[in-house]
Amino acid sequence: MNAVRIAAWNSGTLPIYEPGLDEVVRGGTGRNLAFSTDVAAGINKADIIFRKCQYPDQDLWGWRRPGG
């Protein structure tokens, strides 16, 4: 777990750019969207959990994503 990256998501400046993402994060933060290193507390409090996973460049069958 990378506390620096999680802190970036909680800052006013998102660590990535995706059109419209800033508004979505700002609209949900403090209501129903949180970024935290306290996994146990988050699980106990949450109704639903989204987990970010690395996207492989190539899967088990040799498929490559566009640009990958």
pLDDT in tens, 22-64: 999 999 888 888 888 998 998 898 888 877 766 665 555 565 6
Contact present, 14 and 8 (Cβ < 8 Å): yes
What confidence tier does 1 reach under pLDDT thresholds 50, 70, 90?
confident
Is the model's pLDDT at 66 over the cut of 90?
no
Q: Residue 42 has what pLDDT?
A: 86
Q: Residue 12 has what pLDDT?
A: 82
Contact present, 37 and 9 (Cβ < 8 Å): no
Joined together, the tokens standing for residue 33 give 């969207």
Report d(CA 20, CA 27) in Å as an integer. 11
What lies within 8 Å, CB to CB, of 22 at 6+ separation is 14
